[in-house]
């Protein structure tokens, strides 16, 4: 089976990290896999993580460009590759695919709640199967556009994940981590910074926060931390490769995902595999990943005081070791990347025309 995955960019984000893992798994299963990146956005760390069995094509379109040449190159490439599956990972990519044989073989995975990052809409591009990364995204597609999508949960590579070992005695510092693009309107990093300031105002001194990721809100968040007097307790570590995250998640006492909008919550699942307790906002994808409170803690979305209360409670009481272990077992059993890749291969056969019908 020939599979062409098409994305706008290959940056250090949840979508792209997951795509690399799935492409590698599909290639290992014997598929002929290509990844086509339209925009001139390819993170070298992610590029190096692609298997040698996966072909990478970079069209180098400038973001926002109206130059038709990259689009023409895309369609010429699809004509040459003759893929059995054209799997797009942004709804708006479909407007660049003109080749009728490719359009007949197209399916789209929706990785975020609708309109999270802008006016992306499935209404402009015809009819093809839609896949949602969570039930929250599936329901959102149905509510906003009347689209019936199939849920295929994001998958994580659990093979290299180090597990957290609970400390025998209380640690001098309670370490919190948040991982994701620094887009506070979506990911809610400002809520965590405000919660930290509330805790410090209550006299809690032995707590710190590391942010892993980069994005347009970076300077805003640094200025906010300075203004609230907690910059000495916050580190902005920038982007880190998946190997770093997998090797260092276990060093933390808590992962907080304070997203206002989130389709899934890949880093939440990764933390759970590393046996790190998690605290997430109580709506959409992250809440689904933690079983709406059965596998992790939640706080009211957008409420910094509630976030601070939850962190303080976790610091005081400590994690429930039994729940942490059960959460790990659930994620390993239900969200492994091999399971996700295998499910996609099944759906290709179920939902798309047979390969002989070029």
- pLDDT tens, 75-88? 999 999 999 999 99
Residue-wise pLDDT for 170-201, tens only, equals 788 999 999 999 999 999 999 999 999 999 99
**Domain boundaries, given as residue ranges, for the chain:** 2-155+336-351, 174-334
Beta bridge partners of 212: 179, 238
Domain 2-155+336-351 and domain 174-334 have a common topology: yes
pLDDT at 99 exceeding the cut of 80 = yes
CATH 3.60.20.10 fits 2-155+336-351, yes or no: no
Assign a CATH topology to domain 174-334.
Rossmann fold (3.40.50)
Using the CB atoms, write b or e for 307-334: b if 16+ within 10 Å.
Answer: bbbbbbebbeeebeeeebeebbebbbee
C-alpha dihedral sign at 92, 32, 15, 9:
negative
High-pLDDT (> 70) share of the chain, %: 95
137's enclosing H/E stretch is helix 135-145
pTM for this model (two decimals): 0.86
Alpha carbons 137 and 140: distance in angstroms, whole number: 5
Beta bridge partners of 35: 5, 56
CA angle 81, 82, 86 (to 5 degrees): 95
Residue-wise pLDDT for 250-277, tens only, equals 999 999 999 999 999 889 999 999 999 9
């Amino acid at each position: 089976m020939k599979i062409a995955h098409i994305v706008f960019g290959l940056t250090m984000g949840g979508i792209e990290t997951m795509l690399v893992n799935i492409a590698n798994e599909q290639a290992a299963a014997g598929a002929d896999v290509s990844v086509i990146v339209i925009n001139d956005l390819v993170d070298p760390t992610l590029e190096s993580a692609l298997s040698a069995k996966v072909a990478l094509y970079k069209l180098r379109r400038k973001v926002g460009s109206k130059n038709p040449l990259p689009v023409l190159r895309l369609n010429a490439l699809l004509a040459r590759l003759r893929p059995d599956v054209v799997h797009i990972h942004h709804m708006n990519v479909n407007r660049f695919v003109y080749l009728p044989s490719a359009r007949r073989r197209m399916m789209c995975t929706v990785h975020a709640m609708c309109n999270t990052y802008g006016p992306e809409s499935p209404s402009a591009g015809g009819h093809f199967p839609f896949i949602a990364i969570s039930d929250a995204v599936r329901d959102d597609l149905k509510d906003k556009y009347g689209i019936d999508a199939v849920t295929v949960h994001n998958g994580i590579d659990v093979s290299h994940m180090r597990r957290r070992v609970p400390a025998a005695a209380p640690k001098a510092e309670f370490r919190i981590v948040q991982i994701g693009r620094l887009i506070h309107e979506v990911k809610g990093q400002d809520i965590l910074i405000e919660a930290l300031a509330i805790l410090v105002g209550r006299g809690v001194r032995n707590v710190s926060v590391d942010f892993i990721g980069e994005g347009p809100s970076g300077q805003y968040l640094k200025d906010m931390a300075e203004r609230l007097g907690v910059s000495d307790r916050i580190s902005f570590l920038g982007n880190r490769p998946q190997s770093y995250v997998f090797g260092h998640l276990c060093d933390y006492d808590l992962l907080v995902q304070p997203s206002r909008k989130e389709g899934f919550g890949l880093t939440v699942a990764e933390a759970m595999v590393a046996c790190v307790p998690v605290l997430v906002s109580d709506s959409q994808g992250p809440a689904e990943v933690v079983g709406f409170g059965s596998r992790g803690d939640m706080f009211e979305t957008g409420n910094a005081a509630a976030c601070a209360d939850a962190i303080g409670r976790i610091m005081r009481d400590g994690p429930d070791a039994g729940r942490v272990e059960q959460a790990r077992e659930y994620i390993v059993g239900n969200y492994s990347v091999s399971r996700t890749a295998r499910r996609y291969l099944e759906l290709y056969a179920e939902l798309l025309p047979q390969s002989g019908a070029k």
